Structure 1
Amino acid sequence: MLMLVNCSSCHTPLQLPPGAKSIRCVLCQAVTFIADPRYAPSPSAPSSHYYQQPPPQLQGPSPYNHAPSGPPPQAHGSKRAVICGVSYKNTGYELKGCINDANCMKYLLVNRFSFPESSIVTLTEEETDPHKRPTKHNIRMALYWLVQGCQPGDSLVFHYSGHGSQQRNYTGDEVDGYDETLCPTDFESQGMIIDDEINATIVRPLPHGVKLHAIIDACHSGTVLDLPFLCRMDRHGKYVWEDHRPRSGMWKGTSGGEVISFSGCDDNQTSADTSALSRIASTGAMTYSFIQTIERGHATTYGNMLNAMRSTIHNTDEHEGGFISSLLTMLSTGGSLGGGLRQEPQLTASEAFDVYKKPFSL
């Protein structure tokens, strides 16, 4: 059984190992002692062995107070990115397209948007450097590096391709009652990375003049950055901004910066992988649609971007013969849209804006 408690200082949800009487918060380092424990069921995960052992105690200062282990890349100009592709190799929930997603996204950022290669941290299981494998600790460290020392005018990108999941929220700050999560390679032993922590690490500290884009290709990823506003758009392109600010009043926005996130699907949906098709390299459907929208010149405004991504996924495309649409029919795991999977890319933001007037830029 897994116990979920709030940090006694900053109130961040913490996952307490069975039998433990106290836990140290990774964000503020405060120690919370457990008096009257309330146990909760283990959250859902791609495997039944979700939490086998407590996380190791980190030596030295908090990872949120220094740069990633090893020589971090130097940020040149005003652009830097963290790219994670998690394939879960040699497990029962292996994904075929995530490393391709990471490689394609890096190529896009370098060649289309002039991100210096030395300002991009790439985490995949193919990396020989142990600090650049997508473990929970390494992803945490990379996210901290992403926003560390950022200045007005900086453009930051976080791309993640891998498994996503959900777990029950007991603090009352989620509209649907669930926290969204990302699954690092070692999530079975170290746990998932929950949206509260992602928000606290790369959203809330963002200062005025800094822009962050997140591209999250994972299941249940609609609000995985816990941003205050979600753009609810229908098939005709009409939209309203839903207010997802917690009823508790806790601020989930930035410190003046701007965050915009594209995610593969709504919180209650799953994202597809194109490994069912041999005619192309395996990729995540959402990452593919994101890159194709840019390559075909449809990324003019954020509204046009979102519509084009959804069109690429659901409709027959003149260049690819509707492979995504056919794929989603074959991979259907829930919902219905012409017999296929109902996967709707989502747009969330730290502030609401006119999606058809705001130009898209990285």
Structure 2
Amino acid sequence: MENGKKRLAVLVGCNYPNTQHELNGCINDVLTMRDVLVKRFGFDHSQIELLTDAPGSLVMPTGANIKKALDQMVNKAESGDVLFFHYSGHGTRIPSSKPGHPFRQDEAIVPCDFNLITDVDFRQLVNRLPKGANITILSDSCHSGGLIDKEKEQIGPTSATNDGTLQSNSPKTIPFESILQHLTSMTSINTSDIGTHLLESFGADASLKFRLHPLELDLFESVKPDEGILLSGCQANETSADVNPMMNGGKAYGAFSNSVQMVLKDHLGPLSNKQVVLMARKSLEAGGLVQHPCLYCSDENADAIFLWQA
């Protein structure tokens, strides 16, 4: 810790073992990131909470458990503290309830119990930050661009004309239809409204997007620059890759998590958030992967040092 300021982290890796949506590299991603945080950025092991769905895991990365860990981290934060959330797992897109939404779809991550955590939940989390603290969210999941609702786009898909889903190898996405099917099998309710299923299954633990009236959701509007920083593994209309190198007994990994970790390994000096994302883009392109990491934050934070490295 510098000058008595805290560095707090929540790391979540979901491999969905023994399901049709199984991934291979997500738990490896967050275990590697924990080492990077401690060795490179001065985080203390005791200030890093790790949630994975590995066999025998004490705290499973359910929607409620992830939100509880994030809430506790924000509750502990004071001015000057650095907060970090790394998520590696599936993402999805859900029909938007907001009128005039450009894609008519919103972004969400998929915890191990399918209790979706949406862009509105991350907006509320950022809005709760105490003045002078910041939170960096690194989401290695499909459709992760725009995962903090109404956050300013710095490096994004504005130049892209493709509104379809761009595919990468072993995509970390669960289509909306599959999520709806899974939840319907839990609730036995015959409706295509995903909010109805999530509220029936998870009640008060469901996303704010489904618990609040659309007019109440507007209260989360970000009207001024805030201290939320999102590094997304891909654009909102793209998928992020889970790479499983079979040869040489290599370890599986998420392509974006790995590219960020390689950038940090190759550049020992301070890097801005913008530099990290642009270099990760180049690294993925060199590896032949069709995904474009994005950066969403205030103008000031685009040029700020990644994780405020001393």
Does residue 81 of structure 1 match 2:12?
Answer: no
* Residue 137 (structure 1) aligns with: 64
Q: Give the Cα separation in 1 of the matches to 2:232 and 2:16.
A: 20
**What is the CA distance between 1:198 and its match in structure 2?**
2.3
Equivalent pair of 2:26/2:253 in contact (CA under 8 Å): yes
| Structure 2 match to 1:11 | none
More helix by share: 2
Pick one of 295, 300, 317 that aligns with 2:265. 295
Corresponding residue for 2:292?
A: 344
My pick for the range that moved more, 270-279 or 136-145, is 270-279
Letter in 1 for 2:256: M
Unaligned runs of 5+ in 1: 1-75, 237-245, 316-323, 329-341
1:298-328 Cα distance to aligned partner (Å, 9 max, x none): 762222222210111001xxxxxxxx32xx3
The change in CA–CA distance for 1:96 and 1:281 in structure 2 (over 3 A counts) is same
State how 1:1-362 maps to structure 2 within 5 Å.
77-126=5-54, 128=56, 130=58, 132-172=59-99, 174-187=101-114, 191-200=115-124, 202-232=125-155, 250-253=219-222, 258-279=227-248, 280-297=250-267, 300-315=271-286, 324-325=287-288, 328=289, 342-349=290-297, 351-353=298-300, 355=302, 357-362=303-308
1:232: Cα distance to partner? 3.5
Distance 1:249 1:125 in 2: 34
Q: Any conservation in 1 of the 2:5–2:80 contact (CA below 8 Å)?
A: no
Query: Secondary structure of the equivalent of 1:262?
Result: strand
Q: CA deviation at 1:225?
A: 1.8
Q: Which residue of 2 aligns with 1:332?
A: none
CA distance in 2, matches of 1:152, 1:254: 21
User: Following TM superposition, by how much is the alpha carbon of 1:228 offset from its aligned partner in structure 2, in angstroms?
Assistant: 2.2
Larger Rg over CA atoms? 1
Q: TM-score, normalised by structure 1?
A: 0.63
CA separation in 1, counterparts of 2:292 and 2:121? 25
TM superposition shift of 1:278: 2.9
**Equivalent-residue separation in structure 2 for 1:259 and 1:205 (angstroms):** 10
Q: Indicate the structure whose relative CO is greater, using CA pairs within 8 Å and at least 6 residues apart.
A: 2
Change (3 A) 1:101 1:208: same
Q: What is the deviation of 1:165?
A: 0.1
Change (3 A) 1:77 1:208: closer
Equivalent residue letter for 2:305? P
Deviations for 1:173-216, whole angstroms, at most 9, x for unmatched residues?
A: 743211111111111xxx3122112221x211012100111100
Q: Is the 8 A contact 2:11 2:30 kept in 1?
A: yes
Q: Do the aligned residues in 1 keep the contact of 2:123 with 2:220 (CA within 8 Å)?
A: no
Report how many aligned residue pairs link the two structures.
248
* TM-score, structure 2 as length reference: 0.73
Q: Please state how far the C-alpha of 1:353 moved relative to its aligned partner.
A: 3.4
- Measured after TM superposition, the shift of residue 97 of structure 1 is 0.1
Structure 2 residue matching 1:181: 3-state secondary structure: strand
Mapped partners of 2:276, 2:232: distance in 1: 12
User: How many Å apart are 1:226 and its aligned residue?
Assistant: 1.5
Q: CA deviation at 1:256?
A: 7.6
Relative to structure 1, the CA distance from residue 146 to residue 278 in structure 2 (aligned partners, 3 Å threshold; closer, same or farther) is farther
Indicate how the Cα distance of structure 1 residues 227 and 278 shifts in structure 2: closer, same or farther if over 3 A, else same. Answer: farther
Structure 2 residue identity aligned to 1:95: L
Q: Is the 8 A contact 1:207 1:256 kept in 2?
A: no
Unaligned runs of 5+ in 2: 160-213
C-alpha separation in 2, matches of 1:218 and 1:175: 21
Q: One-letter code of the match for 1:172?
A: P
Letter in 1 for 2:281: R
Structure 1 residue 133 displacement after superposition: 1.1
Residue type of the partner of 2:283? T
